[in-house]
C-alpha cells in the first residue's frame, strides 16, 4: 500500500472510531497496542495491511451493532408512541423506562429528536406541561431540518400544549402548520379524525367558525368511517358549538341531539356534561334563561373532584344568567362558591380569576374597581379571543360612566366596545 495512502487511512480510522463512540482501547484490543494505534492514527507509523484490515473489520462489526441497536430503539420508539396514542398506561411507562436506558439514544440524532417529540405527547398526557414547553423551546429552531413526519407531530403536540394553556391562537397556528405536512397514507382513520377534531376545536375557540365547521365535518367523516361512535359523539358536540356560535341554532340542536343518541348507543356518559352545558348556552342565546339555568345546574351536579374546571365554567354561566334576570343574591352565592374552589386550586385560579373578578364587579356594580382593572380584563379576554364578551363589559362600563357625566371616558369605552364587537363579527365571518 502506498505510504501516503496509509497515512490518510490512519486519519479515516480515527474519524470512524470517534463517530462510533469507541475508545482506542476498545478498537486496539486483540489487534495491536493502544500506543501503536495512537501513532497510526497520527500518521506516525505504517502498520501492515493485515492490521489495517483487522481494524476496519472491527469498525464494520461496530457499524452493524449500532444499526441493530438503532433498529431496536426505533421499534420501541414507535411502540411507545402508539401506547401513548392508545392511552395504554402500563405499556407506555415500561417502554419509557427502557428507552431512557438505551445506549444508542445519543448516537443517532434523528431518533433522539423523534423521541423528544413523542415525549411532548407523553408529558401532555401525564399533565407535566412544563416539560412539554421545555421540549418545544429546545426544538423550535431546529425542527425545520427534521423529517416531515417528525415536524408534523411536533406541530400537532405543540398545538395540543397551547390549547391546554388556553393560548388558542398559537394552538391554531401550530395545527395549521401540521396540516401542511399532513400525510394521509401513514395515519389511521382515528388519527386523521383526531387531527381534524383538534384543528376544528382551535378554530372554534378563535371564532374561525366556517373553518371549524369544515374541519369538524372532516373529523366526523373519518370517525364514522372507522365506526367510532364515541369519537363521533364528540365531533357532533363540536359541530353543535360551532353552529351555535354561528347563530345557526336549529343545526346546533340537531348536532346535540345526534350526540345524545350516540352517547346512549355507546353507553359512554363522559361527555354528558359538555352536551348539557352547551344546551344551556344555546337556551341562553335564545333568551330562555329559566331553561338555561336548569341545564347549568345539572352540569354542576355532573362534575366530580377531577372536573373542577368544568364546575367553574358552569358556575360562571349560572352567574351570567342570574345577572341577566336581575337576581343579584343568587349570582353572588355562586360567585362565592367559585371563589372557594379557586382558593384551593392554584392552576384554576390562574385560568379563571380575571373572569370571576369581572363577573363579581359587574354583579356588585363596583364600577370604580372595574375601571381600575379594565386593562387586565381587556388583556385576558383578548388573549382568549372573547371579543364579544369584552364588548359587552366595556359597553356596561361606558353606560355607567355616561350616567355620572364622565362623557369623555364613556365615549372612549363605547368606541372600544364597538371595535371589539366588530372584531367578534369579523372573526365569525
- Domain positions in the chain are 3-65, 286-364, 367-429
Give the 3-state secondary structure of the chain: CCHHHHHHHHHHHHHHHHHCCCCHHHHHCCCCCHHHHHHHHCCCCCCCHHHHHHHHHHHHHHHHHHHHHHHHHHHHHHHHHHHHHCCCHHHHHHHHHHHHCCHHHHCCHHHHHHHHHHHHHHHHHHCCHHHHHHHHHHHCCCHHHCCHHHHHHHHHHHHHHHHHCCCHHHHHHHHHHHHHCCCHHHCCHHHHHHHHHHHHHHHHHCCCHHHHHHHHHHHHHHHHHCCCHHHHHHHHHHHHHHHHHCCCHHHHHHHHHHHHHHHHHHCCCCCHHHHHHHHHHHHHHCCCHHHHHHHHHHHHHHCCHHHHHHHHHHHHHHHHHHHHCCCHHHHHHHHHHHHHHHHCCHHHHHHHHHHHHHHHHHHCCCHHHHHHCHHHHHHHHHHCCCHHHHHHHHHHHHHHHHHCCCHHHHHHHHHHHHHHHHHHHHHHC
Which pLDDT score is estimated for 8? Answer: 56
Q: pLDDT in tens for each of the 429 residues of the chain?
A: 445 445 556 766 776 777 666 788 888 888 899 988 888 887 778 788 788 888 877 777 555 444 445 556 777 788 888 888 888 888 889 888 888 776 555 556 777 888 899 999 999 888 898 999 999 999 988 888 888 888 999 999 999 999 998 899 999 999 999 999 876 556 788 889 999 999 999 999 988 999 999 999 999 999 999 999 999 999 999 999 999 888 899 899 899 999 989 998 888 888 888 888 889 988 888 888 899 999 999 999 888 877 788 889 899 889 989 988 889 999 999 999 999 988 888 888 888 888 888 888 988 889 999 999 999 999 988 887 788 888 888 888 899 889 988 988 899 999 999 988 888 776 544
Tens of pLDDT, residue by residue over 30-67, are 889 998 888 888 777 878 878 888 887 777 755 544 44
Which pLDDT score is estimated for 104? Answer: 53
Which pLDDT score is estimated for 347? Answer: 80
Which pLDDT score is estimated for 292? Answer: 92
Which pLDDT score is estimated for 19? Answer: 63
* Class of the domain covering 3-65: mainly alpha
Tens of pLDDT, residue by residue over 111-138, are 788 889 999 999 988 889 899 999 999 9
Which pLDDT score is estimated for 380? Answer: 87
Amino acid at each position: 500500500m502506498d505510504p501516503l495512502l496509509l497515512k490518510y487511512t490512519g486519519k479515516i480510522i480515527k474519524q470512524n472510531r470517534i463517530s462510533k463512540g469507541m475508545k482506542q482501547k476498545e478498537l486496539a484490543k486483540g489487534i495491536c497496542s493502544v500506543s501503536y494505534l495512537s501513532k497510526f492514527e497520527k500518521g506516525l507509523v505504517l502498520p501492515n495491511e493485515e492490521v489495517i484490515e483487522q481494524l476496519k473489520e472491527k469498525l464494520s462489526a461496530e457499524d452493524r451493532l449500532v444499526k441493530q441497536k438503532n433498529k431496536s430503539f426505533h421499534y420501541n420508539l414507535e411502540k411507545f408512541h402508539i401506547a401513548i396514542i392508545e392511552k395504554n398506561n402500563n405499556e407506555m411507562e415500561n417502554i419509557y423506562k427502557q428507552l431512557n436506558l438505551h445506549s444508542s439514544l445519543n448516537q443517532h440524532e434523528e431518533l433522539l429528536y423523534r423521541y423528544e417529540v413523542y415525549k411532548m405527547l407523553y408529558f401532555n398526557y401525564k399533565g407535566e406541561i412544563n416539560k412539554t414547553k421545555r421540549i418545544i423551546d429546545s426544538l423550535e429552531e431546529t425542527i425545520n431540518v427534521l423529517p416531515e413526519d417528525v415536524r408534523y407531530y411536533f406541530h400537532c403536540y405543540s398545538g395540543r400544549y397551547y390549547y391546554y394553556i388556553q393560548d388558542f391562537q398559537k394552538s391554531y397556528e401550530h395545527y395549521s402548520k401540521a396540516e401542511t405536512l399532513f400525510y394521509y397514507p401513514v395515519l389511521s382513520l382515528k388519527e386523521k379524525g383526531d387531527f381534524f377534531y383538534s384543528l376544528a376545536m382551535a378554530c372554534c375557540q378563535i371564532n374561525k367558525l366556517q373553518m371549524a365547521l369544515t374541519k369538524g365535518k372532516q373529523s366526523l367523516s373519518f370517525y364514522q368511517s372507522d365506526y367510532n361512535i364515541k369519537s363521533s359523539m364528540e365531533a357532533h358536540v363540536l359541530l353543535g358549538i360551532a353552529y351555535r356560535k354561528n347563530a345557526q341554532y336549529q343545526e346546533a340542536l340537531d348536532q346535540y341531539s345526534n350526540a345524545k343518541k350516540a352517547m346512549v348507543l355507546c353507553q359512554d356518559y363522559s361527555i354528558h356534561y359538555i352536551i348539557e352545558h352547551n344546551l344551556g348556552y344555546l337556551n341562553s342565546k335564545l333568551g330562555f334563561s329559566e331553561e338555561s339555568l336548569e341545564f347549568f345546574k345539572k352540569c354542576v351536579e355532573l362534575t366530580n373532584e377531577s372536573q373542577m374546571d368544568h364546575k367553574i365554567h358552569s358556575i360562571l354561566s349560572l352567574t351570567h344568567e342570574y345577572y341577566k334576570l336581575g337576581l343579584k343574591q343568587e349570582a353572588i352565592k355562586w360567585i362565592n362558591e367559585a371563589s372557594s374552589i379557586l382558593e384551593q386550586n392554584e392552576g384554576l385560579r390562574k385560568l379563571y380569576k380575571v373572569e370571576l373578578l369581572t363577573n363579581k364587579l359587574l354583579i356588585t356594580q363596583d364600577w370604580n374597581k372595574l375601571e381600575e382593572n379594565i386593562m387586565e380584563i381587556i388583556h385576558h379576554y383578548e388573549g382568549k379571543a372573547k371579543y364579544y364578551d369584552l364588548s359587552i363589559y366595556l359597553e356596561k362600563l361606558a353606560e355607567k360612566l355616561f350616567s355620572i357625566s364622565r362623557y369623555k371616558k364613556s365615549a372612549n369605552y363605547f368606541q372600544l366596545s364597538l371595535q371589539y364587537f366588530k372584531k367578534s363579527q369579523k372573526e365569525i365571518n
